[in-house]
Structure 1
Amino acid sequence: MQQIFMSSEEHLVLRKENILYNTFTMSEGGVCPPGVGIYDIRNYSVAEADTFLYQPGEVVLITIVMPIIWAIGAISNIAFIFVVARIRRMRTVTNYYLLNLALADIMFLCFAVGDKVGRYAASPIYNDQYGLKAVGCVLLNYFVQLSYYASIFLVTLVTLEKYYAVCRPVQHRLISGRKRTIRTVAAAWLLATAFALSLIPGWFKWTPLCFLWPDDEKYESLPNLSGYCLPISDIFLSIGNGLQTIPFFVVMILNFLMYGLIIRAVNTRVAVRENQLASTAVRSIQMRNQVVRMLIVNGVIFFICLAPYQCSSFAMMITSATGNYVLSDDQVEKVMWTGRILSYVNSAINPFVYTFVNPRYRHAFFEAFAFCPSIKRHLVKKAKMEENGSSNISMDQSATIKRTQNRKESTATTDSQISQIDTAPVVAHDVAI
């Protein structure tokens, strides 16, 4: 039996092809209204009929695990937004990108997790979307896709910003600024909107269905009517898979390439020079290691959490095109649920990554939520000392480089020499975020 799958987070994973094709538009003894498709499973065994209901493991995930993830994600992302808004020194270019990423994560958790919990609360039939109607199908899935694409584009912008700050400091100084940051963030949201709108045909067709349950006491209280958000045609299944997975893998490759270039630049350009003071050298190494850890942790966690779901979606696109299905329905369900939970976890833990990896974020968090004035004064004083330390490093490095520059025989300075001269102080400033 051919299997039909829809890859994106909000799409229906159909367990039986008959729901789509082997239906009739006729009334069955007044149970089903006229003009609604009927799926007759009265001759199914109890085990077969139960496949159209939520399984025990799915009930645990939907009623316990997912609400916990949603609560943690909402609180953590709102707390991060509050910290950036309250602590003036946290209003940086990088944090402006991360602020928008937090908004995208909140949107994703509210619509994706809220949809799953809402479906279960409204109907015991698996993935029943009867209450959405056509307008609900479009709006719900649009916002889920919008938040997904915005997340991957904003993560890429953060990486690109750091790449220019570390590897191309001269160009970064020329193009950086508040207006440019606002424009790039707006462009990311507009691009995400375009991708999300292009996927609307994949869930535009709301299809009602009437179930005729087996004659068993267990099914007497179950509703007969259900509804599903389905594509206009089968071709949009593969198109949706491609539009979702291909941009993700392209962005992932680009990010990891930039991570490698940043790490190499930090290792080579923030090197200990013979004229530097010992304390300055130690501080430079510490700051270098800090930015490297942040890049690795943020990037690896983000893409590892999203990769399983996107890999399974890509595999479904290939198998749907070739007709060679390797996994059973149950195995596909397990893979999809694993990918969903990991994507939800990723949206919930980003603020924890910032605070645990980077002391500056951690101090700002405690400072924003410190109720004791003495503790708050201590945290502010400590943060200022760290900032002054960073400034002193830049001054020492600038003086050292200036002495080196004065010893040069040539009075003309090429663009490459400017890049080498300015790199150390720029890196020290960028690491402080």
Structure 2
Amino acid sequence: MATSENNTTSAGNVTNNFEIPGTILKQSVPVIVILVISYFVVFLLCVVGNSLVCFVVAKIPRMRTVTNYFILNLAASDILVAIFCMPFTLVDNIIIGWPFGNVMCKLTAAVQVVSVLASVFTLVAIAVDRYYAIVYPTTHTFTGKVTLYVTAGVWMLSILLMIPQVLLIRENAWVENGQVILTLCQETSAFWRKIYTTLLFICCFIIPLTVIMYLYARIGLAVWFKPTPGGDKATEEAKAVSLQRKLKVIKMLLTVVVLFALSWLPIHVITMINDYGSLLPDQQDILWIYVYPACHWLIYFNSAINPIIYGFFNQNFRAAFRTLMMMKGLNVSAFQSRMVSQGTVIRRSTRKRPLKSAVKAGNEVPPAAV
């Protein structure tokens, strides 16, 4: 979260003739161009991809399943990440200083923390939902009411964890001879900043990653050891198809875990190093000018690829997206009829009958939904 950083990069290696009062330019023009382009591409992918997910789930009744509601919540939180995190983080990575005032300092910090945490916690909720749907398909089901409670809990927990940030952060002005030299949006206490960043590291990375890894490991084992339809009488071709489906699911599980870890680990590591390490000024310059922008970009890249992982890799979403691109001039009713005629309607059968019977009916375990 850009506005929560203790941006104390030394001014020796930056330019102090930037046009915005109270700020210092810390990047060269070529680096600024690279940052703007890379952040804009991720911003565009994030907004467009997640907006498509929201549109499909909101407009097509058949797509309104428990899992898809969680994916809808994930898309909504990722859109908030794009709107309220990416632009301010980009500015923060280009200049030293905060030109937006104290109110925006607190407001953007609050929205950034809430949106990021909601995105992470929704990933955990999706993992829990998939775990029960696949490992315990007949004895455990997520009803609409439970889904609503879980979604509300995700946002309430995110807001609760945001409160310390709002209390700690404010705009500080450095004044010399009655003139404002630099304004920063930063925490007022180094000690409590360390406590808070440690709390976020545990709640936003360690616990979610541990839960996701455990649940997806259980799902992977359940899928791998599931008997092939037909048992010993199954043909070699049927066994090969079953094996390919299992491998596809397991690869998707590994992809989700690895991408989450690679996207979030760097920012947490360098934040902990910055708070607890004894860095020299030159080391701080490298950290703030080059490392932090790359780590922030990885976080936002994760929000941009979430609709691909949880949407486009799902055959029902993929078919819906394709139809959506070709539905110029068609109304929603025609879109629904086309979905039904293509046999791409989301089935809730995985919640009501065992995985074995679902496979017999021709329903492949949806790797994107895990």
State the TM bucket, normalised to the shorter chain: 0.7 to 0.9
Say which SS state the counterpart of residue 173 (structure 2) adopts.
strand
State how far apart, in whole Å, the 2-side matches of 1:394 and 1:153 are: 22
Partner of 2:43: 70
State how far apart, in whole Å, the 2-side matches of 1:294 and 1:16 are: 40
Partner of 1:206: 171
Which of 264-273 and 182-191 deviates more? 264-273
Say which SS state the counterpart of residue 208 (structure 1) adopts.
strand
**Is this contact kept in 2: 1:169–1:426, CA < 8 A?**
no
Higher relative contact order (CA 8 A, sep 6+): 2
* Counterparts in 2 of 1:146 and 1:378: CA distance versus 1, 3 Å: closer
- The 5 A counterparts of 1:241-390 are 241-247=197-203, 248-274=205-231, 285=243, 287-319=245-277, 323=278, 328-333=283-288, 334-371=290-327, 380-384=340-344
Specify the code of the residue in structure 2 equivalent to 1:193.
I
Specify the code of the residue in structure 1 equivalent to 2:4.
H
State how far apart, in whole Å, the 2-side matches of 1:55 and 1:16 are: 12
- State the percentage of identical aligned residues: 23
State how far apart, in whole Å, the 2-side matches of 1:188 and 1:430 are: 29
**Is this contact kept in 2: 1:294–1:357, CA < 8 A?**
no
Which of 96-105 and 301-310 deviates more? 301-310
Structure 1 residue 14 displacement after superposition: 2.5
Say which SS state the counterpart of residue 149 (structure 2) adopts.
helix
State how far apart, in whole Å, the 1-side matches of 2:180 and 2:351 are: 71
* Counterparts in 2 of 1:191 and 1:145: CA distance versus 1, 3 Å: same
Give unpaired runs (5+ residues) of structure 2. Answer: 18-22
Partner of 2:20: none
Partner of 1:424: 356
State how far apart, in whole Å, the 2-side matches of 1:325 and 1:170 are: 59
Structure 1 residue 427 displacement after superposition: 7.0
- Is 1:83 aligned to residue 48 of structure 2? no
Task: Calculate the TM-score normalised by the size of structure 2.
Answer: 0.81
Partner of 1:240: 196
State how far apart, in whole Å, the 2-side matches of 1:365 and 1:47 are: 46
Say which SS state the counterpart of residue 96 (structure 2) adopts.
coil
State how far apart, in whole Å, the 2-side matches of 1:394 and 1:316 are: 46
C-alpha distance after superposition, 1:283-330 (max 9, x if no partner): 6555544443433333322332122112222333432xxx46697023
C-alpha distance after superposition, 1:376-433 (max 9, x if no partner): 677643335x879x97x999xx8xxxxxxxxxxxxxxxxxxxxxxx452367768356
Structure 1 residue 95 displacement after superposition: 1.0
C-alpha distance after superposition, 1:261-298 (max 9, x if no partner): 11001111243443766587676555544443433333
Specify the code of the residue in structure 2 equivalent to 1:261.
R
State how far apart, in whole Å, the 1-side matches of 2:282 and 2:67 are: 42
Structure 1 residue 358 displacement after superposition: 2.7
- Is 1:132 aligned to residue 101 of structure 2? yes
Aligned length: 350
Structure 1 residue 257 displacement after superposition: 1.5
* Counterparts in 2 of 1:295 and 1:305: CA distance versus 1, 3 Å: same
Partner of 1:158: 126
- Is 1:55 aligned to residue 27 of structure 2? yes
Specify the code of the residue in structure 2 equivalent to 1:424.
K
Give unpaired runs (5+ residues) of structure 1. Answer: 1-7, 18-40, 213-222, 399-421
**Is this contact kept in 1: 2:70–2:126, CA < 8 A?**
yes
State how far apart, in whole Å, the 1-side matches of 2:215 and 2:321 are: 29
State how far apart, in whole Å, the 2-side matches of 1:226 and 1:327 are: 20
Of 64, 68, 71 in structure 2, the residue corresponding to residue 95 of structure 1 is 68
Task: Calculate the TM-score normalised by the size of structure 1.
Answer: 0.70
State how far apart, in whole Å, the 2-side matches of 1:387 and 1:239 are: 45
Say which SS state the counterpart of residue 169 (structure 1) adopts.
coil
C-alpha distance after superposition, 1:227-264 (max 9, x if no partner): 21222322122012112111211211221121111100
C-alpha distance after superposition, 1:208-238 (max 9, x if no partner): 12478xxxxxxxxxx9554212223221220
Say which SS state the counterpart of residue 183 (structure 2) adopts.
strand
* Counterparts in 2 of 1:359 and 1:423: CA distance versus 1, 3 Å: closer
State how far apart, in whole Å, the 2-side matches of 1:277 and 1:182 are: 42
State how far apart, in whole Å, the 2-side matches of 1:169 and 1:394 are: 5
**Is this contact kept in 2: 1:104–1:148, CA < 8 A?**
yes
Which of 149-158 and 58-67 deviates more? 58-67
Partner of 1:111: 84
State how far apart, in whole Å, the 2-side matches of 1:326 and 1:425 are: 63
